[in-house]
Structure 1
Amino acid sequence: MGTVIMHNVVSVDGFIADRNDDVGPLHDWYFNGDTPLIEDAGYDHSGSGNRIKVSRISAEYVRPMWASIGVIIMGRNLFDLVNGWEGSPPAGDHVVVVSHRPKPEGWHPEASYHFVDDVTAAIDKAQELAGDRTIAVNAGEVGGQILAAGLVDEVAMDLVPVVFGSGKRFFGPVEGQHLLEDPHVVIQGEGVLHLKFRVRR
């Protein structure tokens, strides 16, 4: 079965967006380099109209990580914010959306997007679709629920030097203590620190 990685860009005080779901300067590192991250993107995942170009060091880390992904798990809030990336996710072949509402009628019928109503069902469906490939869980409320359920193997953070003060938390409303191992990946890019931690069992 594939490794389940909870992942997101995050501020140094632990937020993935402000209270209005605006990422502000969190994604600036996607545009401060000269190395294209996605060679031929059908959808502008940055939402800015700018082509994603990162530092060479970040590209060497992010490209193989994204290439390993078979399935992305996201919450309905993010799906609605980005309109499901118009059926073209930044990585992987499939997306599982945790939502109590069904897929919008007529929305990109060609896209492999699956809507389920709880996080356990999301992991089960993702494992079925991913095979041995990685399952990437977007951080936030859904990611925190999956972590709390003991279903996350690794936590990956792209830590940027920004302090938000408040907003949407990386781990969502997760309660209780969850221990991580020492980071086994520490890579300093331009304006971002890439970190990976295994979840302690």
Structure 2
Amino acid sequence: MGFGERFPRWSSAIIGVAQLLLTAAIIGLEVGSAYIDLAHGTIWVGFWAGIIFIKTVLMMLFITCCCRGRCCATYVFLWTIISGVLACVVIYFDQIFINDLCKCYLGDQLCCAVRGIESFRTNYSAVFEDCAQAIRDGTISSKVCPSRPYDKLKLIQAQLGCAVGMLITCGIYVVIYIFACLGICFGHD
């Protein structure tokens, strides 16, 4: 019995669809989080990790329908490991931001000036002038996080849950792949 028979098509289909939904949720939650506050409580991990997640999902769905051989499954295995590591990175940063919603990696000047998308449309010149005055006065550190973006908390928590789900689906694929490589069958004689 070949690798294709030991590696069930239904498993990669279910994992692929689950990863597709989780990837869409992670990216969508990052969009919502960035809209609320572009600088605080984010490092935009959902966007840059999402690029790798999309590649993994596409390859997972590709091996479901088209390439059932060991070579393709091994390629997806490597991408799945990378996605699992990035899911851990998303979990790490989400946990940091859940504990400190004012965390900002952009430096004091940008952390003061960059707020939610709405601030760019309403009165950004006042925000910019307030930050410039704080720089001149040497009080910029007090203006870095003028208000805690509590609206982001639920989005970050949801993204954390989706990242855990992505890590679990990656782990399941790794186990199924190893079983298929070792010749453990899934219901075949």
TM range (shorter): under 0.3
| Structure whose residues are more often helix by fraction | 2
Q: Give the TM-score taking structure 2 as reference length.
A: 0.23
TM-score scaled by structure 1?
A: 0.22
Greater strand percent: which structure?
Answer: 1
Larger radius of gyration: 2
